Structure 1
């Protein structure tokens, strides 16, 4: 009897030490199905998996999506459902459809703590995990993406996957985790801001901390050019028309695992999985240097990394407050040596190889020539500067700035030309 009792205790301790074993269902959750802790849904191609998880070192429970192929090496979560309402006990939690057709997460008290909250309903809804990592709720008999009732790609967390659109309208943006083991939303967000001409902005609360320049037809001005970022692996799309505005990327080599992440520290990383080392390689990291800090040198200041100090005034400009400038406080920026007078003649000075300024106070035209840009800007004294909108096939279209020019840096390779309004007393070599 004593031996039997010892054997039973041994078995209990042995099984309690075994890691949680996941059982896999199909790639779909139907109205008569549910997912409990230990069960997962796997996309049809085996790329992604969804289920309950606990971040490393945390007892809080979440529903999430992660890469299935690399889970044995590192669990890389790309989406979290209940990031603001974690489960304290996953053993009695369940993910299932409600009677009204919403996919919902119930806690151990049978309370809904997260749901898809779809605005439309159908008779036979299903939740399907696609091989893109997108979880969709749709009519079981309707495969048209335009008719999806809900999709996780529209409610991103900190990760942009291939095919996911960062867009305006129904805004889709990235929201950083609070820490590596806490998916609660942090203060850092990455928005595709349509104010003026669209540009990427990382905000810390309401304050801009990083700005990714406007799309110029080839790449984002001031960011890495396609030939610098593994163009054999992925391509970029920027769509800007009457129907929608979004930025996304697509894989050329579908076997590559790559993702864009907004980190808990507020940086943007593009990570690629390296199978040899079984780890994520940070191919791109923004900010790369101090000049990537938004508005470091103030209005009409230019940041140059190989200079000391980093900040200097553009040619024909001087520090607005020289004493502050000399002490390393560049926040007030620069002013023209010769102030503008709208009653006098103006010229436009060409500045080459720069990251174009903040476009929040800009306007644009998609069809004008560069000469047309100059003529339009010259007729409006409040037009501060202009540049070409699209350089993919020569200079086409116009970007016009109104007000002070902020967040300029000198940059090799991906910089552009900008033409800034100046008093005609500047040297003749600048005339254009």
Structure 2
């Protein structure tokens, strides 16, 4: 969301709400807590602990009505962010009104005659409840005995989306959290506009005007809503989506990583969605982003099969192959009727024409930088090629797109709410009759270009063929990718039958469509695997930087001839990562298999791996708290995708700092899937005789008994989280001889109420201490000994993205890993290096 401008005047009047009176400090409750023994009357307020938010009675200008609401305390231009009784206002003259906690434990708003006009109405009965106003603006009702949260204002938003809130739906429980605009600038009652997530997969951001669509942000691709052009990448815009397909839920969160940065999202009475920031220098709010911003942003302005371009006049046009449904309406500037197809599709014609062979096949016309249409169908497990084939096989399919981070999307019926962007956007392939495809000279140029490229490809194939033939004569067998993958799959197959079956399903899928590279081209790209291009080396073999002929920078993993597990890793990585697409997973561009050479070609990550920054005394200062939290959240989202939201269910088994790569925006990408395994959706636990992974990151049940599950990755994530906070490796015997490892050190500090001592000294002045404490808390929950005690990754992402209370962690057996490490180190001195070597261990039963 990258539109920036400042606005005063008219919008300032919306933000400036006059209160009943200036509240003298002597009448304010000097507390953030309301108990059953207290009441808040008109003129009294609750104030959050750090004096960020204030809750009390207010009356909008000239309204004559009284409400209980919440606003920023120390900001001169008042902005009410939440209202309790927006549908049941009190009379402004009713100064005897009060907010209390009743005998049943509910919050109650009483008028001067002691009648209840608003209540939390929770079924949980409590005679010891209390309410607290938190520093993130959440008004929370708790049971004092059990600590259970009975009710919280964050679950009932009004027109304002505060950092830490969650907007979304749960289709299984029916829960819906959405924004509802004020009726007018001075009337908090629900207005015409509602902002929410749709129940699509993936969800879309939407604003409705009553029952009519008003604005659409498009589906979520893992980083952003693709219908919103945005120059920012990663989590820099503060938004994050938390899907859980198994629970049928999806929630949008909004976060800032600097507690002094005051910002929120508001849905205005006129239907605009705005991100507002407070500028301390000018002492005013300004608009950072707004939607809808231009005429093309309004939903369906050009009708079905119409496309809107804000830079053209008129702004509406028909998609290629379509004409206005009503020329008269279009000439008057009324485009909502849209367009109709000019030439009938082949599949819609009679069978006789097809039998005579007089008609040619339909095709697809590619449109670049588009806001993709509404009403899509998501095909969960289709790659780009099979997505096109699926659409071509189904006559009702009028368009398709294959979007990074989402996958295959297809459309039937009218293509609605299509917009041409000047940047960003996605490719849309519209189905047209063959005769329509030839009506543009640009297409002819594309055909010529394609023919040229094809000729070059044939020539390159011929050259590679000659090389392979010579390799055969030298006694080297030129394996093809599919032959390789389908070949020795039963090697080292003493793992579970479920593992093998899951891999077989993937193997017989689309892995053979992974692009292959000619070995000679990789030799040229890496300068003959020059030592100056070497990026590092792992259990698989060395990794080199390369530059392809088109200038694309790549990372090339070359199987080491003396690697005991390299062949298995190579096969596994080809099978798995070719099927996975997510912003926080490294992208596999292709592979090369010629003779004895086996190589994997990945996208090149400018900033290498996380460990090169985190454990370097000079570079670690570049990782401020915002970047570290950004990395933590990205890793968590990547793992959540692997565990719950990908077409496979994948356990990584080797999550560590050196396997987290960083791009030029410091976005984290999980890499190295050589040790990963797939689960069936109904499978929770597996057992293996071959324990593989990295010392310091392996969970106790896996290291000692060969049992692994999603919770094994959760344990590794907890270790990694504590490393990111502290800047220290897990095996910290070199730093603190008193403690077994970083886990034991962290627990000891936590137990002594000194957890902040774990924080990296490079972060001493920058982060919010509460945010650091929360991350340490989550890390300790993840490294608990018992599998059932550890949270799932979906729960972890929610914990990171919201301010909800966390359970207390149990003490980990911090010496167990050290004892095991010591025993294993003595057996594997030739391959072990602290926290870096991936090893295979046969565990006795």
Name the TM tier (shorter chain).
0.7 to 0.9
Matches within 5 A, 1:274-423: 274-342=279-347, 345-359=361-375, 362-389=376-403, 391-392=404-405, 397-423=407-433
Matches within 5 A, 1:99-118: 99-118=103-122
Matches within 5 A, 1:6-405: 19-21=22-24, 22-70=27-75, 73-88=76-91, 89-143=93-147, 147-169=148-170, 170-195=175-200, 197-225=202-230, 227=232, 234-242=237-245, 243=247, 244-342=249-347, 345-359=361-375, 362-389=376-403, 391-392=404-405, 397-405=407-415
Alpha-carbon deviation of 1:226? Answer: 5.4
Alpha-carbon deviation of 1:271? Answer: 0.5
- Following the alignment from structure 1 to structure 2, what is the Cα–Cα distance between the partners of residues 422 and 257? 50
Instruction: Give the 3-state SS of the residue equivalent to 1:372 in structure 2.
Output: helix
Change (3 A) 1:95 1:339: same
Alpha-carbon deviation of 1:379? Answer: 2.2
Instruction: Give the 3-state SS of the residue equivalent to 2:95 in structure 1.
Output: coil
Instruction: Give the 3-state SS of the residue equivalent to 1:288 in structure 2.
Output: coil
Instruction: Give the 3-state SS of the residue equivalent to 2:113 in structure 1.
Output: coil
Alpha-carbon deviation of 1:240? Answer: 2.3
Alpha-carbon deviation of 1:365? Answer: 3.2
Alpha-carbon deviation of 1:245? Answer: 0.8
Alpha-carbon deviation of 1:237? Answer: 0.5
More helix by share: 2
Contact kept, 8 Å, 1:304 with 1:410, in 2: the verdict is: yes
- Correspondence for 1:10: none
- Following the alignment from structure 1 to structure 2, what is the Cα–Cα distance between the partners of residues 348 and 101? 62
- Following the alignment from structure 2 to structure 1, what is the Cα–Cα distance between the partners of residues 244 and 21? 55
1:385-421 CA distance string (max 9 Å, x none): 22124x25xxx52122221110011012231111122
Instruction: Give the 3-state SS of the residue equivalent to 2:288 in structure 1.
Output: strand
Instruction: Give the 3-state SS of the residue equivalent to 1:168 in structure 2.
Output: strand
Deviates more, 1:304-313 or 1:212-221: 212-221
- Following the alignment from structure 1 to structure 2, what is the Cα–Cα distance between the partners of residues 251 and 226? 18
More strand by share: 1
Larger radius of gyration: 2
Alpha-carbon deviation of 1:196? Answer: 5.9
1:42-63 CA distance string (max 9 Å, x none): 1122211111111133331110
- Following the alignment from structure 1 to structure 2, what is the Cα–Cα distance between the partners of residues 58 and 97? 27
- Following the alignment from structure 2 to structure 1, what is the Cα–Cα distance between the partners of residues 335 and 300? 9
Change (3 A) 1:110 1:256: same
TM-score by length of 1: 0.88
- Following the alignment from structure 2 to structure 1, what is the Cα–Cα distance between the partners of residues 263 and 23? 28
Instruction: Give the 3-state SS of the residue equivalent to 1:149 in structure 2.
Output: strand
Change (3 A) 1:306 1:226: closer
Alpha-carbon deviation of 1:252? Answer: 2.1
Give the paired residue count: 403
Alpha-carbon deviation of 1:315? Answer: 1.7
1:126-162 CA distance string (max 9 Å, x none): 112111111111222455xxx4211111111110011
Contact kept, 8 Å, 1:222 with 1:411, in 2: the verdict is: no
- Following the alignment from structure 1 to structure 2, what is the Cα–Cα distance between the partners of residues 342 and 259? 51
Instruction: Give the 3-state SS of the residue equivalent to 1:162 in structure 2.
Output: coil
Contact kept, 8 Å, 1:121 with 1:149, in 2: the verdict is: no
Change (3 A) 1:66 1:286: same
Instruction: Give the 3-state SS of the residue equivalent to 1:425 in structure 2.
Output: helix
Q: Which runs of 5+ in 1 are unaligned?
A: 1-16
- Correspondence for 2:573: none
- Following the alignment from structure 1 to structure 2, what is the Cα–Cα distance between the partners of residues 126 and 140? 7
RMSD: 2.2
Contact kept, 8 Å, 1:25 with 1:39, in 2: the verdict is: no
- Following the alignment from structure 1 to structure 2, what is the Cα–Cα distance between the partners of residues 139 and 248? 26
Alpha-carbon deviation of 1:195? Answer: 4.3
- Following the alignment from structure 1 to structure 2, what is the Cα–Cα distance between the partners of residues 340 and 34? 71
Deviates more, 1:115-124 or 1:297-306: 115-124
Contact kept, 8 Å, 2:223 with 2:240, in 1: the verdict is: no
Larger relative contact order (Cα-Cα within 8 Å, sequence gap ≥ 6) = 1
1:242-278 CA distance string (max 9 Å, x none): 2221212211222111111010111111110011111
- Following the alignment from structure 1 to structure 2, what is the Cα–Cα distance between the partners of residues 239 and 378? 33
- Following the alignment from structure 1 to structure 2, what is the Cα–Cα distance between the partners of residues 18 and 93? 15
Q: Which runs of 5+ in 2 are unaligned?
A: 1-19, 349-353, 355-360, 451-845
Contact kept, 8 Å, 1:352 with 1:416, in 2: the verdict is: yes
Contact kept, 8 Å, 1:219 with 1:226, in 2: the verdict is: no
Change (3 A) 1:207 1:91: same
Deviates more, 1:75-84 or 1:238-247: 238-247
Contact kept, 8 Å, 2:205 with 2:225, in 1: the verdict is: no
Alpha-carbon deviation of 1:18? Answer: 8.1
- Following the alignment from structure 2 to structure 1, what is the Cα–Cα distance between the partners of residues 167 and 422? 27
Instruction: Give the 3-state SS of the residue equivalent to 2:242 in structure 1.
Output: strand
1:335-386 CA distance string (max 9 Å, x none): 2221224256322221111111113xx2213443211211222222222222
